Structure 1
Amino acid sequence: MSVSRFPVWQWGPLTIRAPARGAVKTAVFGTLGVFLALALSLTLGEAGLSPDRLLQAFRGEAEPYEHWLFWQSRLPRALTALGVGVALGVAGAIFQSLSRNPLGSPDIIGINAGASAGAVLWLLLVPGMSVAWGALIGVVTVLLLLIPGMGRNGQLSRSLVLMGVAINALAIALVQFALTLVQREQAQQMLGYLAGSLSHRDWQQVTLIATTLAVALPWLLLLSRRLGLLALGRDTAISLGVPLRTTQLLALVLATVLALGAVLCAGPVAFVALVAPHLARWNGKQLALLRSGLIGALLLLGADTLTLILPGTQRLPVGVLTAMLGGAYLAWILFAELFRQRTPS
């Protein structure tokens, strides 16, 4: 009988293992990369701070404008991008693992579309109130539509992506319907939200996404071993004692919570949740929640930094840029797979 090289703790029905060396190395290098990306985000752009001014602002010794620029504008925006990127990366990895489909992600399955439709309809029906309640109702509705996709044996149907396509189509129709009924000012407000943006973010969004991560990530850490066994295959997981339906339902809810937090803080940012898990699994097919979260954070913060240095007076919403880059990446993946299938072995 083999013995694990890493310490194991039992907490009720859940097993907690000490992180492997690869996970520790990923965390160290990923953290360094995040700090470097954060520094670049704060220094680049027209309103960026030079390294010495950045240090002065951090110490509280800068001029009032630079102090405001650092603490109330650039830093909350960058931290929101990091938190939303982590949430999208981890949520995308879970959805792809549960659906066993490389296209499984919150924006493909319909979570983002449901949140967008709920927010827009809420703004239409209850103007003046926070769209967060509408987005929450939209996400819960989509989740209730997805749960029946779990069979009695606890196996998520592979048609989950097809269900997502139908949900996306319905949500887009509802959004277009709402846009025809509102005035121009409300339509502009809706379109700004639907594009996915990190402009004018403050510490309220930082607190919201940090709370979302603090609630969901510890539970996912406890579920990580089960999710890793599920990635090996349904039969293997069952033979090793994994309660399939309970694990998948809990993981589905936690991934939806992460996607909801991301949508509430930055709007429906496209393709980060799809691309990050692909890059995290570049050298294998195993579930990689930590790498997916770190790559998601770097992708979104990098895309937002790029919007700050692009020429022009109007800043491009980060969701438009991620959709362009993510769409190109998805097209490359599909063409590569098509070429691989046509190439004789």
Structure 2
Amino acid sequence: MVAVRVLVGTPMVDPVLALRVLGGEQIPGISFIVWDHRLPVAVVAVLAGIAFGLSGTTFQTLLRNPLASPDVIGVTLGASAGAVLAMTFLPADGRAVFWCALLGGLGTAALLLLVSGAGRPGAAGAVDNRFVLVGIGLAAALSALISYLLTRLSLQSAGDAMHWMIGSLSTSTWERAAVLAIALAGLVPALALLVVRLRILQLGDDTATGLGLPVPRTRVALILVAVTLSALTVAVTGPLAFVAFLAGPIARLLAGRPSFPLAAVVGAVIVLLADIVGQNMLPTTELPAGVVTGALGAPFLLWMLTRSSTSGSGR
């Protein structure tokens, strides 16, 4: 799929020429298309999909709820609110948007932890349900804040903000790919160490405590890693809707159990596929990847809700 993203488009790129460019040869026009434009997009798509997939699966496994993802519990909207705040009150600068989006996501997580009491000992189900409910309420408040901020912007700035909030890979560069790569290099090993504790945490707070696991500290560490993965990615690509929500359940359907590595792969495939479809589906219009992921995620969410309702009825 990376090869398809690099070769397919307007104009089409000959695979032989693409290989020559990747080998270091300078070919006028083709070098820019392959090396400076399409390949960074493909790399950012893969890295963003991995980050969203791992983040969503962490939330869904920790909270024992397939509907729990950064999109649903307000983390993505927190990062978006931070970015829109930067666009409203700070000079138009990519770094300001990046840092404000990251801080917005982390600040949302801190508020979630504080209000839900996820950092305190308690019954696992009560804490998890409270965290999701607080997140949904916080997401509604953040959505209202974003709408208000958009009314403060000029028409052009509001249009730019709306385009960013859809989620797009069109501004991907090697610098942004490096930011995501460095973040994943630090966060993925941390998550791998915490997943072992997450398996114990799934046995219940009392059992985990009896086995010597510091439950509140472990829960907070998992949430912070998941939030940082999501917020960093939103800061780079914008909020690609439903990627974090889709990756975990699809991986679970394929593997028959929760699988973090498979969720990372599924997330990368979703983002790449969404970008390929968005760039080539309509002959005269290029759709941002966030439009396609939103179109994929909405019916999947309805299917998940219907399935949960049917399961709950005992049929």
- Return the TM-score normalized by structure 1: 0.84
2:180 corresponds to: 209
Give the AA of the match of 1:209.
Answer: L
Q: Is the 8 A contact 1:151 1:157 kept in 2?
A: no
Partner of residue 81, structure 2:
117
1:140, CA displacement in angstroms?
Answer: 2.5
Instruction: Report if aligned partners of 1:60, 1:67 keep a CA contact under 8 Å in 2.
Output: no
1:96-122, Cα deviation, whole Å (9 max, x unpaired):
122121111111111110011111112
Matched, 1:131 2:97: yes
Residue 281 of structure 1 aligns with which residue? 252
SS at match of 2:216: helix
Are positions 1:200 and 2:171 aligned together? yes
Q: Which amino acid aligns with 1:271?
A: F
Q: Does the alignment pair 1:332 with 2:303? A: yes
Q: Is the 8 A contact 1:231 1:287 kept in 2?
A: no
Listed as ranges, the gaps of 5+ residues in structure 2 are none
Q: Residue in 2 aligned with 1:50?
A: 14
Deviations 1:171-218 (A, max 9, x none): 111111111111111111101110000003111110111111011111
State the SS of the aligned residue for 1:313: coil
| Aligned counterpart, 1:59 | 23
- Provide the residue aligned with 1:230 in structure 2: 201
Whole-Å separation in 1 of the counterparts to 2:257 and 2:130:
22
Question: Structure 2: how far apart are the matches of 1:290 and 1:234?
Answer: 25
**Aligned equivalents of 1:151 and 1:59: distance in 2?**
51
How far is 1:227 from its partner? 1.4
* AA matched with 1:138: G
What's the C-alpha RMSD, in Å, of the aligned pairs?
1.8
C-alpha separation in 2, matches of 1:181 and 1:256: 28
Match of 1:73? 37
Provide the C-alpha distance between the structure 2 equivalents of 1:68 and 1:124, rounded to a whole number of angstroms: 33
* Aligned partners of 1:113 and 1:167 also within 8 Å: no
Q: 1:228–1:287: 8 Å Cα contact kept in structure 2?
A: no
User: Structure 1 stretches of 5 or more lacking a match?
Assistant: 1-36
Secondary structure at 2:286 match in 1: coil
Output the CA distance in 2 between the equivalents of 1:82 and 1:319.
14
1:41 corresponding residue in structure 2: 5
Q: Secondary structure at the match of 2:152?
A: coil
How does the TM-score come out when normalised to structure 2? 0.92
1:99 and 2:63 correspond: yes
Counterpart Cα distance in 2 of 1:89 and 1:245: 24
Amino acid at match of 1:264: A
1:152 aligns with 2:120: yes
Deviation at 1:342, TM superposition (A): 4.2
CA positional deviation for 1:323: 0.8
Shift of 1:41: 1.4
* Equivalent position of 2:238 in the other structure: 267
The residue type paired with residue 169 of structure 1 is: A
User: Per-residue displacement from partner, 1:210-236 (whole Å, max 9, x unpaired)?
Assistant: 111011111111222111222344344
Q: Distance in 2 between matches of 1:283 and 1:314?
A: 34
Which structure 2 residues correspond to residues 3-22 of structure 1 after superposition, within 5 A?
none
User: Which digits, 9 at most, give the CA deviation of each residue in 1:322-341, with x for residues without a partner?
Assistant: 01101111112222333344
Distance 1:326 1:152 in 2: 33
Flag the 1:180–1:278 CA change in 2: closer, same or farther, 3 A: same
Quote the Cα distance in structure 2 between the aligned partners of 1:311 and 1:283: 31
Partner Cα distance (1:106, 1:342) in 2: 28
2:136 counterpart of 1:165: yes
Identity of matched residues, %: 35
The Cα offsets for residues 38-73 of structure 1, whole Å up to 9 and x where unpaired, read as 112112222342321221111123522101111110
Whole-angstrom distance in 2 between the partners of 1:197 and 1:82: 13
What do the CA deviations read for 1:301-329 (whole angstroms, capped 9, x no partner)? 11111112111322111111101101111
Structure 1 position 141, deviation (Å) = 1.9
**Deviating more after overlay: 131-140 vs 255-264:** 131-140
